[in-house]
Amino acid sequence: MTSLAQEKQAGKSSEGESLASDRYSRQILFPGIGAPGQRKLAAARIAIVGCGATGSALAGLLARAGVGTIRIIDRDYVEPSNLQRQSLFDEKDAAESLPKAIAAARKISAFNSQIVVEPKVDDLVPANIEALLEGMSLILDGTDNFETRYLINDYAVDRKLPWIYSAAVGSYAVTLNVLPGQTACLACIFPDSPRGMVETCETSGILNSAVNLVASIAATEALKLLVGGPGAPQLRRTLLSFDVWTNEHAEISAAKPRPGCRACGERDFIHLAGEGRPHITLCGRNSVQIHECQRPIDFAEMDRRLQSHGVVRHNDFVLKFWHDPYEMTLFPDGRAIIKGTTDTAVARSLYARYVGS
């Protein structure tokens, strides 16, 4: 390298360091982080599973805080009903039905180009969890169902990897730090999935303030963990819940694993093994996901085939097909979301009829 080129490179490096110093200057002033903590954040690699309301708020907060690598894993696409509470998306994203992981990565790169964002348009399942979470130092929950949370819990406990459970519905928010070997895991607190009537965003609605509360708490716990490690004394060791409308709140101790816990006690990882894994009805809409058929989809060819059966449009990421009263969103790997039914038999029939079995 010539001396002139070396000078230019040095200048670029100096400018980058100056920008980083300015960007995080107020955070570095906070004694809990400081310059050493900011360097740890820059070196951190985290995964956010689910980029809906909570996940997008978590991604925005931690990207602005300077977490060096953020992997965003989400199976879904942006639609207008998301915009009330999902902070990384806009009307253009909804009009184009962009996958949430892609839209989130674009927004983050626009306000912080110094970090790495890895969008993964995929459904986290036992078959791909190792590949999708490999190399991560922390997992954050932005999902909308207990099946995926139990899967994350099994994986994290098995790998001794910390993760943070978060949920919000109506005006209620709840979060838990899971530090394998130190605290209770999700299966310690909730041995079984909730049964009977379960509140969802579709049935009970959701306040964006409840989302932002739980995301702020979880993001702060993530910063504590990334800066101080899983042994940091500031980390909360309780299941914390708060209702922003009624002001009711509670904390349940999660300081120790529950004796005889299936996951962290007996190490029986049934969800990681994929036992009895059902179709998942997505939160916020009357729909079923079809994900058994792994096949590459040629959108141009599929568009041509479906033209005579309904309305079709596609971009590089999704193909949308409307055949009244159903709406199908098809992804490049063959996965589909069928809107207009919660009957898996109906959804499978529509998929077989128009895509193939």
Q: Which residues belong to the active site?
A: 201
Do 152 and 144 contact (CB within 8 A), yes or no?
Answer: no
- Provide the 10 A C-beta neighbour count for residue 251: 12
DSSP character at residue 31: T
Instruction: Note the Cα 38 to chain centre separation in Å.
Output: 23
Do 67 and 136 contact (CB within 8 A), yes or no?
Answer: no
Q: What distance, in Å, lies between the first and last C-alpha atoms of the chain? A: 58
> What is the Cα–Cα distance from 68 to 70, expressed in whole angstroms?
7
What is the pairing mode between strands 238-243 and 249-253?
A: antiparallel
CB proximity list for 251: less than 8 A, separation 6 or greater:
238, 239, 240, 241
Identify the residue whose tokens are 């033209």. Answer: 307
Closest alpha carbon to 138 in 44, 61, 271: 44
CB proximity list for 54: less than 8 A, separation 6 or greater:
141, 142, 166, 167, 168, 211, 214, 215, 218
Cα–Cα distances in angstroms (integers) from residue 182 to residues 157, 219, 230, 264, 350, in the given order: 11, 20, 9, 10, 47
Radius of gyration of the chain (CA): 22
